């Protein structure tokens, strides 16, 4: 199944006009014709079935014939991950976490962060592409970059976890996260969280966790966390 994305669709939508880029892809690459079926999501859980009524490389139009609301996962995962020095590593994390299943992502700027500039529009496109590729109908929420201290000041009712590299007592993720629960997991930059940041997190009732015996890169740690939580809920 080929999945398309259009965030303007809703339950009362009757048709959809695709952009020139998508129209070219539909008619020239996929070779879709009038009467063929297209599957479209709005990123909010809805899957729309549509019949092409006009197919042209410059403008493709389809008529909505039915829709279903896809069931949500039994858990919710929010990953707050420091941007990596190499931007492509963070983009890799965004893609793979979306494929595995993440609900919300926040880039957090920490004391040891080397990257401070975030290209939010490019990140959004990566999330959309990964959602379509993995045939998911829920687009992860991508928040603007925020400082660690400001993130700590936000109200959060999730189970709060922080993965850091300091040699202190920690719990394993599998022994900490319960199935069908909501979790927020903090992942630090290449230089790890500062000792002050760890102290602030612990004072804010974050539980320190281990992701295994190996020292992981930021993006790898985030993927391990996402997959572990998905596995716990499988």
Single pTM value for the model: 0.93
Structural contact between residues 151 and 106, judged by C-beta atoms closer than 8 angstroms: yes
In this structure, are strands 141-142 and 76-81 parallel, antiparallel, or unpaired?
Answer: unpaired
Provide the pLDDT for residue 213: 87
Structural contact between residues 77 and 178, judged by C-beta atoms closer than 8 angstroms: no
Residue pLDDT, tens place only, 201-225:
999 999 999 998 889 999 999 999 9
- Distance from C-alpha of 88 to C-alpha of 194, rounded to nearest angstrom: 24
The alpha carbon dihedral of 167, 177, 143, 96 has a sign of positive
pLDDT band at 1 (very low <50, low <70, confident <90, very high): confident
Provide the pLDDT for residue 11: 92
Q: What percent of the chain has pLDDT over 90?
A: 88
Average pLDDT over residues 174-188: 95
The three-state secondary structure class of 200 is helix
């Amino acid at each position: 199944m080929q999945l398309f994305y259009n965030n303007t669709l809703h339950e009362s939508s009757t048709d959809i006009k695709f952009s020139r880029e998508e129209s070219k892809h539909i008619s020239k690459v996929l070779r879709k014709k009038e009467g063929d079926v297209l599957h479209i999501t709005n990123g909010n859980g809805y899957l729309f079935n549509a019949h092409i009524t006009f197919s042209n490389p410059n403008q493709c139009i389809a008529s909505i014939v039915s829709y279903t609301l896809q069931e949500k996962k039994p858990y919710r995962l929010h990953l707050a991950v420091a941007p990596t020095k190499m931007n492509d590593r963070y983009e890799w994390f965004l893609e793979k976490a979306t494929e595995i299943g993440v609900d919300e992502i926040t880039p957090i700027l920490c004391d040891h962060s080397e990257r401070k500039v975030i290209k939010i529009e490019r990140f959004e496109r990566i999330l959309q592409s990964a959602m379509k590729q993995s045939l998911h109908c829920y687009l992860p929420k991508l928040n603007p970059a925020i400082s660690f201290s400001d993130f700590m000041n936000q109200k959060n009712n999730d189970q709060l976890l922080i993965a850091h590299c300091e040699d202190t007592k920690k719990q394993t993720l599998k022994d900490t996260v319960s199935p069908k629960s909501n979790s927020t997991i903090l992942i630090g930059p290449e230089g790890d969280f500062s000792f002050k940041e760890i102290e602030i997190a612990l004072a804010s009732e974050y539980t320190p966790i281990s992701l295994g015996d190996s020292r992981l890169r930021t993006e790898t740690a985030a993927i391990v966390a996402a997959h572990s939580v998905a596995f716990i809920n499988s």
